[in-house]
Structure 1
Amino acid sequence: MQQILTYAFLVIYTVTILGIVLVIITDNRNPLKTLPWIIVLVFAPVVGLVFYFFFGQNLSKQRIISRRTRKRITMQLEEALDDGRPDIPDEHLPLARLLAATIHSVPLYGSRITPYTDGKSKMEALLAEIARAKHHIHIQYYIFCDDTTGCRLRDALVAKARQGVEVRILYDDVGCSGVKKSFFEGMRREGIEAFAFLHVKFPLFTSKVNYRNHRKIAVIDGCVGFIGGMNIADRYVRGTEWGSWRDTHFRIEGSGAAGLQASFLSDWSATTKRHIAGAEYYPAAERLTDDILQIVPSGPFGKWRALLQADSYAVSNARKRIWIQTPYYLPSDVLNSALQVAALAGIDVRLMLPARSDSKVVDLASHSYLDDMMKAGVKILFYKPGFLHSKLLIIDDSLTVIGSANMDFRSFEHNFEVNAFVYDREFTARMAGVFEDDASRCHALTPGEWFNRPRPRRWAESLMRVFSPLL
């Protein structure tokens, strides 16, 4: 009897593994993502089965934010823009149309954008805007720690809530998994509405733990917004034990804040099932500059990967330069090839990475892509003073992409992200200056030193690259 049960278990188990492999294949995913899962399931079936349940299921056909909700919020945003649609420069018109088609992104005119390149100045600017809030404060972060920095923000929000200002918070349940429950419960007792996005009710039995809301958005009175790479934690202000934390964040004043508002309210509706509307959330915006921008939220649900498609299109159509800052470089094959082709065509392609990141495994996988990049003529820069966490893409003289998305599989495929595509020569020149200033603190990698690195290191890089779609 025991032998029959053993055989029955083996048959059921084998059929289950083969069934999952068949599901993965018939999903018609990118082969770069399909192959690692098949390898894991075949050679380590027990571990593979557990990891697939948590991290591998394809939920792209589901919709956490309904089309109806998204359309309703987009219509409200468009109604608030009484200055009509801006004229997109001809060189960027196809990209703008692509973003409108994939994510219904509305072109917004006349915003003033202020960059912050360190956590202290960004935090002080955010707290100053919060202190001036009159009607509402909307906060959304992947990480909202209960350390000194987080408590400063909490106290500022509580003070405004006591004054009658509406305060709403969205935080990622995985990103804030180490935060004490009492931290958010204390804010709720003060009248602050705080919710976890994609709340992980049963961590041992959920398939959505892999889908994280990586957005960093703050909107104050619908007039001023913040977007970028900095979360709320001490390390973003004070740095790490082994160096400074170099990051980039942006204050957007004007109509661009309305775009951030629409993104926040979409996530709020999806999380709380409550729709917030009213003219007070989209006040009339003054024209402060001549720039045009599009706020582009992207996520794992739905057919299109808006940020991946837009970045790939922009890179493929560059004519002069492509300058990139990213903490992790784990690109799709399309984007990686586009960068190499651009470099081979004589375009100035520069990739700035941290000399040391917060993940050795991701470092190894990222470095596996650098051989072909260098052979194609891409200039590789390693930032030395500390951890480079900045996300920046500069194309030619008049397009800059800023926001929360890293240039890796997770940001493009699994995370909820938000970037701004800014069409403006003056702003692009300013951010190019920031890039060049950072470059002065970098080590420019040479082919000689790179191709002579130890062979065991190369083997480790190649091994980690196989699993890069899963990192």
Structure 2
Amino acid sequence: MLRICNSKILCLTLVGLLSACSGHALRQSAGNSQYLEPPADAPLVQASAQLLQHHPGQNGFSLLTDGRDALIARLLLAASAKQSLDLQYYLYHDDLSGSLLAWALLNAADRGVRVRLLLDDMASRNKDDYLRILALHPNVNIRLFNPFRREYSRDLQLLTRYGVSTRRMHNKAMVADNCVAIVGGRNIGDEYFDAATDAVVFGDLDVLTLGPVVSDVSQAFDTFWNHPFSIPVAEHLGEPAGTGHESLQRLRDQLQLWLDSNQQHPYAVALRGRADQWLNTGQNALFWGQAYVLTDSPQKISQTPEVSPLMLSVGGLLNSAQRRVILISPYFVPGEEGTRFLQALAQRGVELIILTNSLASTDVPAVHSAYKKYRQSLLKAGVQLYELDAKAGKGATERSWLGSSSVSLHAKALVVDDEFFYVGSMNFDPRSVLQNTEMGMLFRQPILGKMTANGFMQVISENAWMLSLQNGELRWSRNTLNGTVVREQDPRASVWRRLQSWVLGFLPIETEL
């Protein structure tokens, strides 16, 4: 009798917990705000105007292929902004690069610049106090998108609030003075800016852009910022303990002390050298052409599934291809429908080249366990399939967008007919299509398209395994200085990693990847 009674109590408790944890947290305050038009004397406005007068109605853009360039660009925008800085990220680490950017944002706020920072709450574990203190600055506004409830374990909420906590804002964008924007695949963290020393480096891509399209980026930011799912830090987390002014000054002093004491850090030295090179040798030259913002709605994370509007646009672009498609996606799970779509594309004569992570280079083995089911079908249809070598670029003296030694692909890009180029946050997988919100930019510029396509093909030939079928069995091959190397199983993958992928392949989790 006691066992039955206890079971009933346990069931009722679980039901109550599930009910209490269900549903999205919504903003209670009004708190809407819009992007600001900067004054005519703002440095970024003046610099942009000089360039735009020679390219009326067009947009200028520059690929940020090097991680150091990508961080330098963000720091320069923060230092140059006069009125506003808007940042939207899935992850923001308080490591070397994150601290540099936080210091730059606080300096901008001290100058009177309005800073709006919108973060997905997935990676804010143990950062509540840090965010609370940053948000104390009168010019710094921080919101958490779809935040976890603080009264329950995050890990538990991934089960009890399944379909709510598991849906995330994956967008990445930064806008300075509604004048210059950076959009792409990079989060804020050392592994994205070639600064990681004890972790895998992520090969990634961003694009810096100016022109009319920047207002579209700002409008997309406002849509997310003003949505009820975006909740101010103070409202969701409460005020920090202690005196606010003293806490903020202490954080500012800590950042400054950290910066001063790391002046000779090897990365800081490399960053300064790269900045001089970037500014003085024309490596920030712009291409000019048409540009479009592709973005999902914040409402996509509601419990009603919604196919990504961004994915529909990309699908239409793929369907329009006549000659060649180069698709780069670190997490590539096409599914049955996507596989049929890609097979049809290849079978009507379009050269289709796909680069994704190998089992050894991926940071999410579960994704590889789902992807591997589609390799043979794609190869039989004539799709050219490549997987990144986990040791790509090892020993290189100059880092590329693939990093230097132990790397994992993180860039999401697409080139169609050497004319259209897309870069953004969206992977070619079910999670990007159905659950997370995504954002990217599409450019039409034949010179950049051709240059990028050639660059991708060089990277693929030098850093990836080519897959093929031999008597119905998969083979991996790479051309090296010592000849062609052929492998009969996933190269460089440990026995444990192969076992992991094999076991995960039996689980019905593909739609969650």
- Does TM, scored on the shorter chain, surpass 0.5? yes
Distance, in Å, in 2 between the alignment partners of 1:161 and 1:73 is 17
Distance, in Å, in 2 between the alignment partners of 1:54 and 1:144 is 29
Q: What pairs with 1:41-52 in structure 2 (closer than 5 Å)? A: none
Of 333, 336, 341 in structure 1, the residue corresponding to residue 336 of structure 2 is 333
Partner of 1:362: 367
Partner of 1:213: 169
- Root mean square deviation, CA, Å: 3.7
* Alignment deviations for residues 317-357 of structure 1 (CA, whole Å, 9 cap, x no partner): 32211211111011243322111111122211111012311
Residue identity opposite 2:428 in structure 1: M
Residue identity opposite 1:444 in structure 2: M
| Range with bigger deviation, 211-220 or 109-118 | 109-118
CA separation of 1:174 and 1:398: change in aligned 2, threshold 3 A:
same
Q: What pairs with 1:437-452 in structure 2 (closer than 5 Å)? A: 437-440=458-461, 441-448=463-470, 450=474
Distance, in Å, in 2 between the alignment partners of 1:125 and 1:7 is 59
Unpaired runs of 5+ in structure 2? 38-55, 233-285, 393-406, 476-487, 491-497
Q: Is 1:262 aligned to 2:219, yes or no? A: yes
CA separation of 1:273 and 1:186: change in aligned 2, threshold 3 A:
closer
Partner of 1:198: 146
Q: Is the 8 A contact 1:228 1:402 kept in 2?
A: yes
Shift of 1:403: 0.7
Q: What pairs with 1:66-105 in structure 2 (closer than 5 Å)? A: none
Residue identity opposite 1:364 in structure 2: S
Unpaired runs of 5+ in structure 1? 14-45, 77-107, 275-286
Distance, in Å, in 1 between the alignment partners of 2:184 and 2:367 is 21
* Alignment deviations for residues 290-310 of structure 1 (CA, whole Å, 9 cap, x no partner): 324233334334755212222
Q: Is 1:231 aligned to 2:187, yes or no? A: yes
Partner of 2:130: 183
Partner of 1:388: 409
Shift of 1:423: 2.7
The count of residues paired between Structure 1 and Structure 2 equals 381
Shift of 1:8: 8.6
Q: Is 1:375 aligned to 2:380, yes or no? A: yes
CA separation of 1:320 and 1:340: change in aligned 2, threshold 3 A:
same
Partner of 2:506: 463
* Alignment deviations for residues 381-424 of structure 1 (CA, whole Å, 9 cap, x no partner): 12221211110112223222211111111111111111222233
Q: Is 1:249 aligned to 2:206, yes or no? A: yes
Distance, in Å, in 2 between the alignment partners of 1:112 and 1:233 is 26
Q: Is the 8 A contact 2:333 2:428 kept in 1?
A: yes
Shift of 1:288: 8.1
Distance, in Å, in 1 between the alignment partners of 2:434 and 2:370 is 17
Of 111, 127, 131 in structure 1, the residue corresponding to residue 59 of structure 2 is 111
Shift of 1:235: 1.2
Distance, in Å, in 1 between the alignment partners of 2:501 and 2:148 is 38
Shift of 1:171: 0.7
Q: What pairs with 1:107-186 in structure 2 (closer than 5 Å)? A: 109-178=57-126, 180-186=127-133
| Range with bigger deviation, 185-194 or 114-123 | 185-194
Partner of 1:434: 455
SS at match of 1:413: helix
* Alignment deviations for residues 195-246 of structure 1 (CA, whole Å, 9 cap, x no partner): 1111212444545211111111100000000111111111112246575421
Shift of 1:453: 3.9
Distance, in Å, in 2 between the alignment partners of 1:446 and 1:242 is 31
SS at match of 1:463: coil
Partner of 2:324: 321
* Alignment deviations for residues 239-289 of structure 1 (CA, whole Å, 9 cap, x no partner): 465754210011111112111101111111115589xxxxxxxxxxxx983
Partner of 2:238: none
Partner of 1:300: 301
Please, what TM-score do these two structures have when normalized by structure 1? 0.71
CA separation of 1:63 and 1:151: change in aligned 2, threshold 3 A:
closer
Percent identity of equivalent pairs:
23
Distance, in Å, in 1 between the alignment partners of 2:166 and 2:5 is 34
CA separation of 1:456 and 1:246: change in aligned 2, threshold 3 A:
closer
CA separation of 1:458 and 1:138: change in aligned 2, threshold 3 A:
closer
CA separation of 1:258 and 1:295: change in aligned 2, threshold 3 A:
farther
Of 352, 375, 381 in structure 2, the residue corresponding to residue 349 of structure 1 is 352
CA separation of 1:453 and 1:128: change in aligned 2, threshold 3 A:
same
Please, what TM-score do these two structures have when normalized by structure 2? 0.66
Distance, in Å, in 1 between the alignment partners of 2:132 and 2:168 is 21
CA separation of 1:188 and 1:333: change in aligned 2, threshold 3 A:
same
Q: Is the 8 A contact 2:295 2:309 kept in 1?
A: yes
Q: Is the 8 A contact 2:333 2:370 kept in 1?
A: yes
Q: Is the 8 A contact 2:333 2:429 kept in 1?
A: yes
Distance, in Å, in 2 between the alignment partners of 1:136 and 1:453 is 52
CA separation of 1:231 and 1:154: change in aligned 2, threshold 3 A:
same
CA separation of 1:250 and 1:290: change in aligned 2, threshold 3 A:
closer
CA separation of 1:350 and 1:120: change in aligned 2, threshold 3 A:
same
SS at match of 2:226: helix
SS at match of 1:341: helix
Shift of 1:109: 4.9
Distance, in Å, in 2 between the alignment partners of 1:184 and 1:340 is 47
